[in-house]
Chains A and B, each alone.
Chain A
Amino acid sequence: MAAAIFSFFIINKSGGLIFYKDYGSAGRMDTNDSLRLASLWHSMHAISQQLSPTVGCSGIELLEADSFDLHCFQSLTGTKFFVVSEPGAQHMESLLKVIYELYTDYVLKNPFYEMEMPVRCELFDINLSQAIQKDRVALLGR
């Protein structure tokens, strides 16, 4: 069974990777690669705003590649959440909003969490896998 979601990243406002989880993409990426991809995405996101033909551009929201879709959500504080999914996967925006809520609840409200540092919060991990699992079940149901 192919996973609808391949991987999930959170990058802080300066482009550093603070959370990465893989859900079954082929060929594991090592830590260095994921860090580099995250900061590359951060700069691509910034450049896309420069190239906008009209004012008020807030960066790439959806990238459609040959073998995956990448949905990105940027919070008002500049933290970016992005999910790599199968091409044409639906309701990824709402999933990202749900994950953002989990982040505010279980990461930002965690008194031991230092801002802009890698996320190591057990409750966040648990709830995130539940949210992704739920999304997968919803996909199977259709």
Chain B
Amino acid sequence: MQFFGGSDISPSPPNPSGSGNNSKNNNSGGGGNMMYVFNRNGVCLLYREWNRPLRTLSSQQDHKLMFGLLFSLKSFTAKMDPTNVDKGNLGVPQLPGQGCSFHSFKTNTYKLTFMESPSGIKIILVTNPRIADLRDSLKYIYNLYVEYVVKNPLYSPGTPIRDSFRLKPRGVEELRCAWRLPFRDLLGEQ
């Protein structure tokens, strides 16, 4: 399990970002579809969507299904791990960082990138399948979470992150810039 070296936010997002105005005009473009943040109990702390034409479930059911998928995929990878002799039994709950985890999966219509912090915070980005590796962006988002949510004295742990925490002006727009602009460069969009 990697740790993220202090809680300082790197001066700029992992890939060079442009101005915030630019990303505001272009709401449906870019490669991002959805973002989820879960805590270790499966509470969805934050959900954002930018481009989601298909919706099969209510949002609560959707969050449960997503958390369940990640949980099961983690026990799947921990049991499948071909490099480890002592894998334990399938389905036995594991601590964050214990056992073989996964960082992304890809289907023909989307790519899901996943990160779990040592405290069990799960950050999920659902993007266009052509997007390259997003692990650095996830670490950046985790740092934003630490800076603007965990360090906020009004925030009670385990509750959804509300916009009134001034996450919006600084945080979410920054998240946007952090991963929207690089996508556009990667995809060759204008």
Interface residues of A (CB under 8 A from B): 6-7, 25-27, 29, 33, 36-37, 40-41, 43-44, 47-68, 70, 84
Contact = CB atoms under 8 A, between A and B. Distances in A.
Main secondary structure of the interface of A (DSSP, over half): mixed
B82 A26 contact: yes
B82 A6 contact: yes
B100 A67 contact: yes
Interface stretch (B16-24, B62-70, B157-165, B173-181): B62-70
Contact of B57 (A50, A53, A64, A65): A50
Given A47-B65, A48-B105, A63-B105, A7 B82 contact: yes
Interface string B90-109: 10000000001111111111
A63 B73 contact: yes
A84 B80 contact: yes
B110 A54 contact: yes
User: Which of the listed residues B51, B80, B90, B110 has the most CB atoms from chain A within 10 Å of its own CB?
Assistant: B80
A119 to B, nearest CB: 21
Contact of A44 (B73, B90, B104, B109): B73
A59 B68 contact: no
Given A62-B106, A65-B100, A84 B56 contact: no
